[in-house]
Amino acid sequence: MIGIIASVVTVIIKTDSDAEFVFRQQHLTPIAGAMLERFVASAPDPRPGAGRHRGLRASCISQGLGELRNPWVCTVTYPVGPSVRYRVLITPTGQVNGASRDRSLVVYGCCVGFRPTQ
């Protein structure tokens, strides 16, 4: 009898976590530009000799649809020198990877937006 009760409890717990996972997958929150702007502006300036200062501000515009809205174009204004424009992609786990047009400057890190729990 105890074995049957333990099995039922295990099935209920597993079903609840599966239902929660499915709900989260079906109700993802789209990435907002402001979320990505804060993230990209907080990264240090990657240009040699620029002092690794954080950006003063950033502007990000989505070029795609869906929850991640990839790709994004983000322009970051740093305290020194001209602004830098990055093409940014967000992975489903929230990783951010961006590069300048000539790929000489990169911005990357974790995490923006929805991240599934394990």
- The pLDDT score that the predictor gives to residue 24 is 58
**pTM of the entire predicted model:** 0.71
Rounded mean pLDDT for each run of 10 residues along the chain, 118 residues in total: 46 58 62 92 92 95 92 96 96 93 94 62
The per-residue DSSP string of the chain comes to -HHHHHHHHHHHHHHHHHHHHHHHHHTPPPPPHHHHHHHHHHSBP-STTSTTPBPSEEEEEE-S-TTT---EEEEEE-SSSS-EEEEEEE-TT-EEEEE-TTSSSEEEEE--S-----
The domain limits of the chain are: 1-28, 33-110
- The pLDDT score that the predictor gives to residue 113 is 74
- The pLDDT score that the predictor gives to residue 18 is 76
